Amino acid sequence: MTRHAERLLAAVQAGLARRVGTLMQALVIATTACLLAEPAHAHKPSDSYLVVSVDGNSVVGQWDIALRDLDFAIGLDADGDGRITWGETRARHADIAAYATARLALKADGRDCVLQVGTQAVDDHTDGAYSVLPLQFDCPPGASAPATLTLRYTLFADIDPQHRGLLNLRAGGNTRTAIFSPEAATQTFELATVSRWRQLLDYSREGVWHIWIGFDHILFLLSLLLPAVGIWATGHVRTTAWQPVPRFAVVFWDVLRIVTAFTLAHSITLSLAALGWVSLPSRWVESSIAASVVLAALNNVFPLFHRRRWMVAFAFGLLHGFGFASVLADLGLPQGALALALLGFNLGVEVGQLAIVAAFLPLAYTLRRTAFYRHAVLFGGSLLIATLAAVWFAERAFDLKLMPF
């Protein structure tokens, strides 16, 4: 190769490195802004649980809606002390019913049904208190039981696009599930048939969504990925002790071990918890998940586990599985339907997880030799993650409100 060609190649490589560096920097800034702007999403995402039962011409149901979501929408905390009491909730029962019924509609065989709400109650789910609304659908009488139901669900669509409505539909001895979102607000169900593939797809999509908006899970994974493109030359806490790996194959196998260990671990506990075989207090689980993020991030600054981070991924992955399981456990599905929902949700989590790895790893590998990656991304990013997760831990473990968001 001529000197001119060598200089041209070097210039191209330098330009590419600058562009990738700019992209990585923008990614770090954007991620930081999102984390600081929306820390509440480190907790369980907003869901409501809708059960509809069809028995002949009778259509009844129950709708569980989180008090924290209703408080944000219509204001339940009358005295502003940060706590929603039974008295405050009971005083707003009529407003809760009006707000909810305006955002739920049902048709039986294409004909509108009138929705009535019975005496409301409050129940505890894994992530807090929920208002329980008994539902009665007065549908036009027919010669036989309805063949199709069409549901339109728009609860919180105008204020929280991340909210999901989880439906448990029981008819003719069969149970099916569905997930409502702003993009899938109206859905029609053939009561005589059950599409298992549709249910599997719905819960796979929900699994992808939950991993992408579950910032504590994402930050734990990123904390394990950040040092994957380098090795520690010594055990001392110095940036010069961290050296870039020479080949991508080294990175690939290291990440494969980490992701496999994390996947295996959270799949085990997700299954155990969702099937009801193991149950742990939600507050303990959420606090422990935040603590796992702190420890994984600090390990990048004060390294204790150099070459066996897959063991860390497996140990803490067991905790994260209980966090993933909360959405399925709260739905209260029968065992047969729960097994299908569990499979689809778990597959979705893995797809979402692999998408994060595929997006981050090539950029990290390209920038592994730069001071920007070593100082700003690896060390600075790890300290930022540890700080944010420490705040989450304090809020969850001690029921504090440290962030004004």
Separation between Cα atoms, residue 128 and residue 123, nearest integer Å: 8
Report whether pLDDT(224) > 50.
yes
Phi first, then psi: give them for residue 191, nearest 5 degrees.
Answer: -70, -20
Q: What is the pLDDT of residue 398?
A: 83
Of 89, 164, 155, whose CA–CA distance to 119 is shortest? 89
- pLDDT at residue 135 greater than cutoff 70: yes
Residues 6 or more apart whose CB falls under 8 angstroms from that of 358 comprise: none
- 127 versus 90: the higher-pLDDT residue is 90
How far, in Å, CA of 44 to CA of 42, rounded? 7
Q: What is the dihedral of CA 107, 112, 114, 117, to 10 degrees?
A: 20
- In angstroms, the CA 113 to CA 5 distance is 75
Q: What is the pLDDT of residue 45?
A: 66
Cα gap 290→217, rounded to integer Å = 9
3-class SS of residue 338? helix
Question: What is the per-residue pLDDT for 134?
Answer: 97
- The residues with which 178 forms a beta bridge, in sequence order, are 167
Q: Look up residue 45 and give its two tokens.
A: 């995402």
Within a 10 A sphere around the Cβ of 342, how many other Cβ atoms? 22
What is the tens place of the pLDDT at every residue in 93-120? Answer: 999 999 999 999 999 999 999 999 999 9
Look at the chain and count its residues. Answer: 405
Question: What b-and-e string marks burial along 368-393, b requiring 16 or more CB atoms within 10 Å of the CB?
Answer: bebebbbebbbbebbebbbebbbbbb
pLDDT surpasses 60 at 10: no
Summarize pLDDT for 173-202 with one digit per residue, the tens. 777 888 899 999 999 998 877 677 877 887
Query: Model confidence at 44, in pLDDT bands (50, 70, 90)?
Result: low
Please give the structure tokens belonging to residue 164: 């999901």
Instruction: Please tell me the predicted confidence (pLDDT) of residue 143.
Output: 59
CA distance 166 to 189: 14
Least confident of 112-126, 252-266, 303-317, 327-341: 327-341
Q: Which residues contact 30 (CB under 8 A, 6 or more apart)?
A: none
Q: Where are the beta strands (DSSP E) in 139-219?
A: 148-153, 164-171, 174-180, 186-190
Please give the pLDDT value at position 40: 39
- CA–CA dist 200, 223 (Å, integer): 31
Answer yes or no: is pLDDT of 20 > 70: no
In 3D, which of 374, 241, 387 has the Cα closest to residue 303?
241
- Nearest-angstrom CA–CA distance, 260 and 350: 10
Report yes or no on whether pTM surpasses 0.75.
no
- The mean predicted confidence, pLDDT, of the chain is 82
Written as six digits, the tokens of 264 are 């295996």
